[in-house]
Structure 1
Amino acid sequence: MNDDFPLGLLFGLLLLLICLSAFFSSSETGMMSINRYRLSHRAGGGEGRAQRVMRLLGRPDRLIGVILIGNNFVNNLAASIATIIAIHFFGDVTGPAVATTLLTIVILIFAEVTPKTYAAVKPDRIAYPASLILEPLLKVLYPLVWLVNAISNGLLRLLGVKSIEGDGDNLTRDELRTVVHEAGPLIPRRHQAMLVSILDLENVTVNDIMVPRH
């Protein structure tokens, strides 16, 4: 058997692990950055992929748990393989240091900053396809996810966090007014004024709407 085959296989496996790390990193940011109101609207309209994402976001502790378990596993395995490759080229003394330095730079650029930035800008393009993998992966890793969440949720309760359900954000009247104003061209200006007027309707007195009979 060719001696270069195992080394080439290690390089290929390392590249695959870096891609998987980028997937988990972008999935985390995409899931947490997706527009919840647009998502809820699509899920209510019967869109299957939106409903799948809604199910995952319904328990953010489990979602984050399965993502971080996967991400840490592939990163640690990538570090081990990178160390083996570096030792092959640089020896037992210098190899581990070289592997740590190079892999940190590679993961930072290609598996963290770039995929997370893209997911933050285009969350829909990441969250929907990622949910196809994350939902079955959560079922497979559920015992481990449950154990991690049990410990984590216990610590959160000590910090005063009693509920970890992803019920979504409730908007106050002023926040809803800001959402209307920031809709931009999606809602014509005159319609924006009408919607804002509805929000202020309970503050209107009878004298404000009465018309003199003459």
Structure 2
Amino acid sequence: MDHISNSTLVGVLIALIVVSAMFSGSETGMMSINRYRLRHQAKQKHGAARRVLNMLERPDRLLGLILFGNNLVNIFAASIATILCTRWFGDYGIAISSLGLTVVILVFAEVTPKTFAALYPERVAFPMSAILKPLSYVLYPFVWSVNMISNGLLRLFGIQTGDDQDEHLSSDELRSVVNDAGKMIPRRHQDMLLSILDLEKVTVEDIMVPRNEIIGFDVNDDWKVLSRQLISTSHTKVLLYRDTIDDAVGFVHSRDALRLLAKSEFEKESMLRAVRPLYYIPEGTPLNVQLLKFQRNKERIGLVVDEYGDIQGLVTLEDILEEIVGDFTTTMAPAPSEEVERQDDGSVLVDATANIRDLNKELSWSLPTDGPKTLNGLILEYLEDIPDANVSLRIGDYTIEILEVADNMVKQVRMLTRTGKKRLI
């Protein structure tokens, strides 16, 4: 190259550094691009996205192409830099070219383009794919040879590179994606998506109406009393039973009662004929499973039973939907709970029959939910006894003062999230 001028070699060296920067940036851009957004764009028939997605199906070939080209360019650049520095600095040229070119390549052909590509992967990957795609055909023999050797080495360690390995997200990973969506998904929609993912962790016991709160009517009562109760009830479906709730008859729809009333056929016998069969739900059934069962069986309400067949509570389709979208109210803001009363001193008066999950959601608390479902049950489990009033205890970061005990259960407590309260047990 003695006959080539220095200015020409400098121009070629600059061009090689630029090409090296393009290869380096394309490597980072291709590998860091959002695969899910890329698949969506490909389905929308975005040409560059489809091209990039096709190349990413074989990352070993893509990396082999990029690294082969990048190393080839860097070696040529090193040779030219050595020639130039030898001409300029004589015997010191090799050392100067090695040090100088290392800094130049590191700054201009590695760190800068890769940082830009990491920040804006699509702006790098899309245009570079138009260059890399035809280049992959031109350099195919060289890339194939390199990949064959490298893949052979990987197989020695038990790593298979030829298998099509689709990316699958676990529910926890998908939850992180939703949380990280930021402004791309409205906060309320994020909450709904997260609630859907949480359905598998919540069982019917967590949301059911407890047995002692089920509204039902005894069919053995006097017909006049029973008919008034059926007509005046505010519930769409009412449970009918004989003497006790364990001898449940079925649900009657208020619409059927009104239809019989309109036809002057509203008698006990006709009302019993209109009763709909009972639908039972085993306790411990996850909500995502129960939602599908409601859909499959065309049901909207069911009785939760334990392993002995005893009725423990009642669950409706609306209860499950409220776990996803929140309470059905006339406004978007949640209605204040009747079970919670905030005090001026920062404490909270709580009905001890309140569901722990509801308290955690309403007050942003973190009371344990892997045991009892109600605050009363949590206190009794912790104390292993039925306490008297004016007893305090601490569960985690929560100081609980028992205010009222009746009917063998805690009725009302005062709660503080501050530490340092006097502990009496």
Under TM normalisation by the shorter chain, which class is it?
Answer: over 0.9
Matched AA of 2:93? G
Moved >3 Å (runs of 4+): 163-168, 202-207, 209-214
Q: Give the whole-Å Cα distance in 2 for the aligned partners of 1:84 and 1:29.
A: 31
RMSD: 1.9
**What residue is the counterpart of 1:112 in the other structure?**
110
Q: CA deviation at 1:190?
A: 1.1
Counterpart secondary structure, 1:162: coil
Q: CA deviation at 1:142?
A: 0.6
Deviations 1:35-74 (A, max 9, x none): 0000010001111110000011000000000000000001
Matched AA of 2:189? H
**What residue is the counterpart of 1:186 in the other structure?**
184
Matched AA of 2:194? V
More strand by share: 2
Q: Give the whole-Å Cα distance in 1 for the aligned partners of 2:71 and 2:196.
A: 49
Q: CA deviation at 1:103?
A: 0.6
Q: CA deviation at 1:149?
A: 0.4
**What residue is the counterpart of 1:57 in the other structure?**
56
Matched AA of 1:101? L
Does the CA-based 8 Å contact 2:60-2:161 persist in structure 1?
Answer: no
**What residue is the counterpart of 1:30 in the other structure?**
29
Q: Give the whole-Å Cα distance in 2 for the aligned partners of 1:35 and 1:182.
A: 13
**What residue is the counterpart of 1:122 in the other structure?**
120
Does the CA-based 8 Å contact 1:18-1:110 persist in structure 2?
Answer: yes
Q: CA deviation at 1:197?
A: 1.7
**What residue is the counterpart of 2:144 in the other structure?**
146
Q: CA deviation at 1:162?
A: 1.4
Matched AA of 2:11? G
Q: Which has the higher contact order (CA 8 A, sep 6+)?
A: 1
Flag structure 1 segments of 5+ consecutive residues without an equivalent.
Answer: none
**What residue is the counterpart of 2:7 in the other structure?**
8
Flag structure 2 segments of 5+ consecutive residues without an equivalent.
Answer: 216-236, 239-425
Matched AA of 1:88? R
**Identity over the aligned pairs, expressed in percent?**
57
Report which stretch shifted further, 162-171 or 111-120: 162-171
**What residue is the counterpart of 1:155 in the other structure?**
153
- Are 1:47 and 2:46 matched, yes or no? yes
Aligned residue pairs, count: 211
Give the TM-score taking structure 1 as reference length: 0.92
Matched AA of 1:147? S
Matched AA of 1:41? H
In 2 relative to 1, CA 97–185 (structure 1 residues): closer, same or farther, beyond 3 Å? Answer: same
Give the TM-score taking structure 2 as reference length: 0.47
Q: CA deviation at 1:164?
A: 4.2
Matched AA of 1:117? T
In 2 relative to 1, CA 191–97 (structure 1 residues): closer, same or farther, beyond 3 Å? Answer: same
